[in-house]
């Protein structure tokens, strides 16, 4: 099935035809490590509840969703990968693997030209619990080897054979299974060994604080080669480089690892040819060898590999969930070149780019980007664009954060527009009374406004929908919402898992941002001069959003001491802004709040539903039952403000 077929639906009867066309998809990223994969085709794949979503970084929007999984999607993997630069040339078809929390793995085929996609197959169920990581590489133009790991303590090696003919299918078979015991692996990386094109190396790390190295061939039979020790907590990410040329006859392989001990380690695997007579002696010595200052030694084929710790990177202040080598580039003569640059993402809200210093060779942090908002709760993963010019992070709140190097002579990383959406079930949505925008509420405890952004759009260009405001950030799951009558018709009431309905009024900053986005003249009732509230602040420990006035007049905390926790001092103050381009996550999370104007009391249990009449003058609400005394509705009459 193609997106074009899914975007347009028609129904024809005696009176003519009705056509519906998909113009906007909003979804948040699942809160899982290894959930995101940026493919060589340019699309980003991520799990959005039980679906796989694809978004275009160039357009900043989700282009389609792939349904099929029956449980939340935990991880994704593109084939060919960004490292397979030789296999990517001229390719029009890419494959996507996705693993879910019920142990299922699915394969999808994506046509990069027309954007067509199809569900290829569901792999045989080999895991009893959720998939935690997928890693793989192309070993030829038509064969890929990949591995999957699960919390059931099993690692499975798979082979995918792709038919080279246009429109051809693929076949996936299980080659080998490895049992890792009671402490499962949560990170994997697979690479082709230098000097040994037919041999592969698999690194896996998990809950035992060790990196386990396995070697095998294309038959999928892997045997354990050695263990790398050094980390003192769970190992969350592993990534092999492509072979790095040291001389015309010698290549090294680098492995980078990150852990919940807040450190990053770079391991070097130095290759050296050995004679057939000494191979058995080296293997025997390696069995008796545990670890010494140079690191362990292992043999694969006719080459021995000496492992040593290249560098220890310390800079993050919290768990480092992700590390990734910059994708290689293709040099003249069809030679792949590994760029010595590493991207790391951490729960300290920062992503860092590490590079070796030219003079000393010491690895240093050369670029740091991140979120300064107090509402940000850290990054679950960081990823390079295939050309290395952009970096992408996904966070605790289901959000994406992307920066692009726009500098000419020096690096200048600037935030970019990315899609956004709820990361928990959407419980209700409603159109604004003017029809200019859509408002949705969710169990992720936020209220979001989406509108078509027409500013800075040339005639004939496609108009994209963007999230332009986040009016309410709450402490309870929000269940229902309705627009009601008010000044300018920008007033809504929401109900959450609490006994109180809350009414919100649009501030001046939103009204002007809406005008910038839609390029529509304000309604007659939208008299900006009469709006005295610029934005809103959230209490540090409360649930109410206090107004920020245009002339700096604001109620002091002491004047509302009867409100209890809602009167706590706000830390820090929001900065309401009129946006001339779509706001990014850091701005949405704090600077687009609407002030709360009223509370509607009466219910004895958590609110369940809210609705209003056509004119928006009468609001009805109901709550969860718990006995006869709670089984009733409250109706409120709303009068227009003078």
pLDDT at 523: 58
Residues 507 and 361 in one domain: no
Residues 571 and 466 in one domain: yes
pLDDT tens sequence across 98-119:
999 999 999 999 876 566 788 8
Residues 302 and 372 in one domain: yes
Q: Is the pLDDT score of 251 beyond 50?
A: yes
Cβ contact 233:209 at 8 Å: yes
Residues 342 and 435 in one domain: no
Residues 293 and 431 in one domain: no
Last residue within a domain, chosen from 416, 438, 460: 416
pLDDT at 570: 40
Contacts of 576 (CB under 8 A, 6+ apart): 507, 508, 509, 534, 535, 536, 548, 591, 592
pLDDT at 182: 87
Residues 528 and 601 in one domain: yes
More confident residue, 487 or 277: 487
558: which 2 tokens?
């002491």
Averaged over 314-321, what is the pLDDT? Answer: 96
Residues 230 and 151 in one domain: yes
Identify whether 468 is part of a domain: yes
Last residue within a domain, chosen from 353, 381, 416: 416
Q: Which residues partner with 438 through β-bridges?
A: 431, 450
Residues 18 and 165 in one domain: yes
Domain CATH code at residue 11: 2.130.10.10
- Cα separation, 280 vs 276, in Å, equals 8
Identify whether 233 is part of a domain: yes
Identify whether 128 is part of a domain: yes
Identify whether 412 is part of a domain: yes
pLDDT at 524: 47
Identify whether 421 is part of a domain: no
Residues 352 and 475 in one domain: no
pLDDT tens sequence across 536-552:
888 767 778 888 887 75
Residue 529: phi and psi, rounded to 5, are -65, -25
Last residue within a domain, chosen from 416, 450, 468: 416
pLDDT tens sequence across 78-102:
999 999 988 888 788 899 999 999 9
Residues 45 and 88 in one domain: yes
Helical residues (DSSP H) of 23-64, grouped into ranges: none
Q: Which of 151-160, 191-200, 229-238 has the lowest mean pLDDT?
A: 191-200
Q: Is the pLDDT score of 386 beyond 60?
A: yes
pLDDT tens sequence across 252-295:
899 999 999 999 999 999 887 665 544 444 444 443 333 345 68
Domain with 447, as residue range(s), is: 426-637
Contacts of 100 (CB under 8 A, 6+ apart): 47, 50, 69, 70, 71, 72, 73, 74, 106, 130, 131
pLDDT at 521: 65
pLDDT tens sequence across 443-458:
999 999 999 998 766 6
Q: Is the pLDDT score of 5 beyond 60?
A: no
Residues 402 and 439 in one domain: no
pLDDT tens sequence across 197-219:
688 999 999 999 999 999 998 88
Averaged over 543-562, what is the pLDDT? Answer: 59
Q: Which of 381-390, 491-500, 576-585, 630-639 has the lowest mean pLDDT?
A: 630-639
Cβ contact 415:584 at 8 Å: yes
Q: Is the pLDDT score of 557 beyond 50?
A: no
> Per the structure, how many domains does the chain have?
2
Identify whether 642 is part of a domain: no
Residues 545 and 570 in one domain: yes
Q: Is the pLDDT score of 39 beyond 70?
A: yes
More confident residue, 610 or 576: 610
pLDDT at 374: 62
pLDDT at 1: 41
- pTM metric for this prediction: 0.88
Identify whether 149 is part of a domain: yes
pLDDT at 642: 45
Identify whether 245 is part of a domain: yes
- Compute the mean pLDDT over every residue in the chain, rounded to the nearest whole number: 85
């Amino acid at each position: 099935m193609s997106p074009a077929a899914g975007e347009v639906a028609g129904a024809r009867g005696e009176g003519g035809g009705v056509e519906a066309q998909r113009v906007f998809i909003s979804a948040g990223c699942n809160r899982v490590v290894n959930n995101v994969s940026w493919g060589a085709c340019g699309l980003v794949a991520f799990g959005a509840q039980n679906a796989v979503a694809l978004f275009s970084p160039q357009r900043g929007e989700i282009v389609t969703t792939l349904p099929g999984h029956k449980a939340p999607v935990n991880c994704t993997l593109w084939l060919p990968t960004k490292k397979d630069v030789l296999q990517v040339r001229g390719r029009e078809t890419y494959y996507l693997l996705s693993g879910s929390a019920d142990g299922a793995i699915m394969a999808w085929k994506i046509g990069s030209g027309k954007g067509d996609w199809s569900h290829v197959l569901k792999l045989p169920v080999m895991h009893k619990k959720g998939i935690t990581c997928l890693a793989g590489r192309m070993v030829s133009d038509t064969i890929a080897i990949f591995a999957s790991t699960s919390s059931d303590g099993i690692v499975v090696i798979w082979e995918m054979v792709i038919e080279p003919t246009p429109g051809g299918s693929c076949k996936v078979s299980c080659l080998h299974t490895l049992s890792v015991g009671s402490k499962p692996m949560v990170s994997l990386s697979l690479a082709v060994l230098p000097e040994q094109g037919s041999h592969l190396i698999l690194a896996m790390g998990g809950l035992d604080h060790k990196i386990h190295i396995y070697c095998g061939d294309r038959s999928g039979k892997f045997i354990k080669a050695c263990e790398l020790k050094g980390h003192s907590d769970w190992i969350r990410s592993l990534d092999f480089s492509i072979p790095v040329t040291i001389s015309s006859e010698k290549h090294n392989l680098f492995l980078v690892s990150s852990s919940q001990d807040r450190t990053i380690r770079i391991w070097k695997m130095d290759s050296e040819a050995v004679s057939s007579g000494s191979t058995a002696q080296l293997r025997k010595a390696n069995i008796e060898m545990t670890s010494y200052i140079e690191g362990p030694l292992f043999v694969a084929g006719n080459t021995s590999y000496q492992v040593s710790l290249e560098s220890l990177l310390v800079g993050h202040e919290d768990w480092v969930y992700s590390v990734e080598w910059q994708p290689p580039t293709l040099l003249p003569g069809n030679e792949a070149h590994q760029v010595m640059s590493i991207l790391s993402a951490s729960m300290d809200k920062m992503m860092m780019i590490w590079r070796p210093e030219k003079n000393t060779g010491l690895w240093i942090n050369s670029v740091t980007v991140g979120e300064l908002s107090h509402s940000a709760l850290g990054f679950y993963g960081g990823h390079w664009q295939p050309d290395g010019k952009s970096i992408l992070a996904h966070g605790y709140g289901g959000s994406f954060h992307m920066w692009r190097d726009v500098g000419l002579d020096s690096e200048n990383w600037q935030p970019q527009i990315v899609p956004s959406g709820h990361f928990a079930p959407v419980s209700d949505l409603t159109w604004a009374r003017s029809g200019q925008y859509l408002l949705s509420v969710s169990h992720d405890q936020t209220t979001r406004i989406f509108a078509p952004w027409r500013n800075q759009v040339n005639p004939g260009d496609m108009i994209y929908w963007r999230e332009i405001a986040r009016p309410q950030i709450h402490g309870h799951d929000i269940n229902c919402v309705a627009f009601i009558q008010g000044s300018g018709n920008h007033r809504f009431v929401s109900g959450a898992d609490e006994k109180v309905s809350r009414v919100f009024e649009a501030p001046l900053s939103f009204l002007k941002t809406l005008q910038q986005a839609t390029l529509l003249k304000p309604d007659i009732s939208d008299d900006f001069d009469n709006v005295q509230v610029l934005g809103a602040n959230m209490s540090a420990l409360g649930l109410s959003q206090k107004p920020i006035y245009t002339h700096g007049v604001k109620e002091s905390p002491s004047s509302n001491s009867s409100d209890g926790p809602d009167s706590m001092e706000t830390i820090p103050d929001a900065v309401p802004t009129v946006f001339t381009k779509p706001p990014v996550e850091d701005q949405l999370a704090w600077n687009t709040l609407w002030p709360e104007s009223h509370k509607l009391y009466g219910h004895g249990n958590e609110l369940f539903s809210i609705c209003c009449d056509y004119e928006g003058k009468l609001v009805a609400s109901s709550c969860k039952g718990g006995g006869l005394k709670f089984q009733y509705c409250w109706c409120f009459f709303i009068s227009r403000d003078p």
